[in-house]
């Protein structure tokens, strides 16, 4: 059965314009004007190219400059692409490289231990799931690619936080952060998180999470040539699976070996 797509017009089979955000489309159009042959542009040129009134072009450019997607030149009249655009591109390419390298190794780990494996990246205070190899068991962890969890109470998240200094943690978790927004489990404030991470640094891996009853996990950081954690992997599944019984033994050894193999491919020595 074909799934219904609300963004497709039933009459024409094309994109339904009712779902398009005009301002976003115009902002993307502004960014699309820049390229190797035209690295800088003036406000008047941008407005003329897109057929926009000067006031509209100014608001678009001002917003993009404020968000870091455009940079104003030293002459104060020309604009070029800003670092935010480059960051988006590099983050995308880096995540694809990670998945290309880590995917087969995480599949092998899943087959070796008989439980679901995952990889995540740190995005602000969240861990973003970018890869999942579900187990072949009837029951398996249902954490999907693209889903997020607060980093401080998930095993993947804390494996990523392990390499952050106290200053970096304080910058990430300001006084307004609610550690118990989703659950009363886990660290309740920054000091408790620091103590938790210090214990986990000493053992070199993360055992368990505070997500919910019945699920257990082992996680380890993945590092690149910078010797900093750029991702984390885990085995996470129902604690009733036989492979999850030897949490601090065979299972831990397998996770650490796979993390080391991925790190080696990324230039970590």
pLDDT in tens, 144-180: 888 888 888 889 999 999 999 999 999 889 888 888 8
Digit-coded pLDDT (tens) for 106-137: 999 999 999 999 999 988 888 988 899 988 87
Whole-number mean pLDDT of the chain? 84
| Torsions phi, psi for 21 (to 5 deg) | -95, 105
pLDDT at 84 over 50: yes
| Cα separation, 97 vs 138, whole angstroms | 31
| Cα separation, 39 vs 33, whole angstroms | 9
230: its two tokens: 């750029």
pLDDT band at 261 (very low <50, low <70, confident <90, very high): very high
Mean pLDDT in residue range 52-69? 93
Dump the DSSP string for 11-67: TTSSB-GGG--HHHHHHHHHHHT-BTTB--EEHHHHHHHHT--HHHHHHHHHHHHHT
Q: What is the pLDDT of residue 1?
A: 38
Mean pLDDT in residue range 248-265? 93
- The residue among 213 and 55 whose pLDDT is bigger is 55
pLDDT band at 142 (very low <50, low <70, confident <90, very high): low
| Cα separation, 205 vs 28, whole angstroms | 42
Please give the domain boundaries of the chain with CATH numbers for all domains: 17-81 (1.10.10.10), 87-265 (3.30.450.40)
213: its two tokens: 């009853």
- The residue among 8 and 118 whose pLDDT is bigger is 118
Q: What is the pLDDT of residue 218?
A: 93
From 121, 66, 132, select the one nearest 90 (Cα to Cα): 121
């Amino acid at each position: 059965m074909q799934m219904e797509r609300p963004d497709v017009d039933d009459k024409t089979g094309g994109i339904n314009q009712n779902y398009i955000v005009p301002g976003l489309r115009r902002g993307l159009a502004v960014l699309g004007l820049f390229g190797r042959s035209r690295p800088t542009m003036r406000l008047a040129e941008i407005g003329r190219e897109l057929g926009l009134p000067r006031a509209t072009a100014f608001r678009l450019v001002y917003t993009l400059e404020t968000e870091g997607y455009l940079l104003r030149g030293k002459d104060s009249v020309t604009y070029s692409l800003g670092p935010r655009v480059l960051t988006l591109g590099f983050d995308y390419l880096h995540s694809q490289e990670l998945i290309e390298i880590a995917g087969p190794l995480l599949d092998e780990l899943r087959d070796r231990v008989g439980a679901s494996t995952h990889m995540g990246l740190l995005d602000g205070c969240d861990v973003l799931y970018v890869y999942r190899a579900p187990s072949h068991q009837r029951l398996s962890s249902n954490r999907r690619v693209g889903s997020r969890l607060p980093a401080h109470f998930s095993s993947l998240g804390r494996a990523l936080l392990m390499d952050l200094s106290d200053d970096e943690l304080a910058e990430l978790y300001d006084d307004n952060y609610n550690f118990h927004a989703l659950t009363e489990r886990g660290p309740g404030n920054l000091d408790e998180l620091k103590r938790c991470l210090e214990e986990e640094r000493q053992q070199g891996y993360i055992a368990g999470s505070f997500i919910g009853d019945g699920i257990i996990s082992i996680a380890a950081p993945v590092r690149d040539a910078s010797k900093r954690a750029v991702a984390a992997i885990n085995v996470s599944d129902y604690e009733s699976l036989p492979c999850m019984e030897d949490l601090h033994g065979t299972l831990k050894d397998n996770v650490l070996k796979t993390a080391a193999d991925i790190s080696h491919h990324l230039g970590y020595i």
